[in-house]
Amino acid sequence: MASFVRAALALAFMTFASVSAFADEARGKIASIDPENYVLVLDGNRTFAIPEEFYVEDLEPGMTVVIQYEVVEGENVITDLEIGE
């Protein structure tokens, strides 16, 4: 019986851990971008941290983007970014 409980707890933990690993998505127009401070703001004042390894020099306010992001320590961190139409 104890091994069944341990297996059930392990399965519950793995399920919770995998659900929290999924990235969220945001779509909108870039309101502002500050590459020096690694911050991108979409319309509606939605703020995202830009990883240092991202190349953002081609991004400009007014561009439509689709952002994949994860929440890390309460901060929206971009994991992928696509320029829309």
Tell me the two tokens of residue 57.
Answer: 């020099």
Indicate the helix (H) or strand (E) that contains 44: none
What spatial distance separates the first Cα and last Cα of the chain, rounded to whole Å?
57
Q: Identify any residues that bridge with 78 across adjacent strands, giving them in sequence order.
A: 69
Q: Identify any residues that bridge with 72 across adjacent strands, giving them in sequence order.
A: 75
Residue 17, pLDDT score: 44
Task: Specify burial of residue 55 (Cβ count, 10 A radius: 0-12, 13-18, 19+).
Answer: exposed
**pLDDT tens digits along 43-71:** 999 999 999 999 999 999 999 999 999 99
Mean pLDDT of 8-35: 70
**pLDDT tens digits along 4-13:** 444 444 444 4
**Confidence band for 21, pLDDT divided at 50, 70 and 90:** low
